[in-house]
Chains A and B, each alone.
Chain A
Amino acid sequence: DADVTQTPRNRITKTGKRIMLECSQTKGHDRMYWYRQDPGLGLRLIYYSFDVKDINKGEISDGYSVSRQAQAKFSLSLESAIPNQTALYFCATSDSTKQGIMHFGAGTRLSVL
């Protein structure tokens, strides 16, 4: 089983719909992140959380919200999806004691029509 699990793996939705992407981890890491990948732009940080009570905006948080339901769960919501949110979304984790290594989920491919 994967250490960082994202669901769904692929999703097609319509403009204006609310959608939630979920992430869970079994690595016991305290830090969790949501990134968005677009061709030619690399990975850009949406939100990050260093523990359950800590939520921080990244560089492109507009139009997104997150919830850290437990140390192991970090979900990303698009309240009203728009076409330019079509992208590949990654959840990632890291451990503050493990020298900076980031562990990624398999990604969610989201298409907003």
Chain B
Amino acid sequence: AQTVTQSQPEMSVQEAETVTLSCTYDTSESDYYLFWYKQPPSRQMILVIRQEAYKQQNATENRFSVNFQKAAKSFSLKISDSQLGDAAMYFCAYTQTSGTYKYIFGTGTRLKVLA
């Protein structure tokens, strides 16, 4: 069975600094998608970034980028130039590209941004 693990329940970063959130996963599939979702205090789940497993190039979205290591089954999120609005719960998620399309979520990392 597929699993997603986020080992950092909480992290802090100084405003304007860089922080990296960790995520590891386990699957026997070769083709799948990985995601980072952000949940601010409003509790709305917002897609931050998506990575397709068959692409070697790491995805980037403005200040957000990932380090995707397929062999190591690692998918970390780097937030550069952290802003107060980045404070939120961040969830790593996995779904395979065929079959049941069930999404598996990690337990989340709460990010605090210090002014």
Chain A interface residues toward B at CB < 8 A: 31, 33, 35, 40-45, 48, 50, 56, 58, 88, 90, 92, 94, 96, 99-102, 104, 106-107, 109
Contact = CB atoms under 8 A, between A and B. Distances in A.
Contact of B50 (A50, A56, A96, A101): A101
Contacts of B101: 31, 50, 94, 96, 100
A58 B105 CA distance: 13
Looking at chain B's contact residues, the main secondary structure is loop
Interface in B82-115: 91, 93, 95, 97, 100-103, 105-108
Interface stretch (B12-20, B39-47, B60-68, B70-78): B39-47
A41 B107 contact: yes
Contacts of A40: 9, 107
The 5 closest A-B pairs by CB, nearest first: A104-B45, A100-B33, A42-B107, A43-B105, A42-B105
A59 to B, nearest CB: 9
B98 to A, nearest CB: 11
B102 A45 contact: yes
Interface residues of B, number: 23
Contacts of B105: 35, 42-44
Residue from A31, A40, A43, A101 having most chain B Cβ neighbours under 10 A: A43
B106 A42 contact: yes
Contacts of B35: 100-102
Interface in B21-62: 33, 35, 42-45, 47, 50, 52
A50 B93 CA distance: 19
Residue from B9, B91, B108 having most chain A Cβ neighbours under 10 A: B108
A104 B44 contact: yes
Contacts of A31: 101
B27 to A, nearest CB: 14
A83 B68 CA distance: 40
Contact of A100 (B45, B91, B95, B106): B95
Nearest to A35: B105
A106 B52 contact: no
A99 B107 contact: no
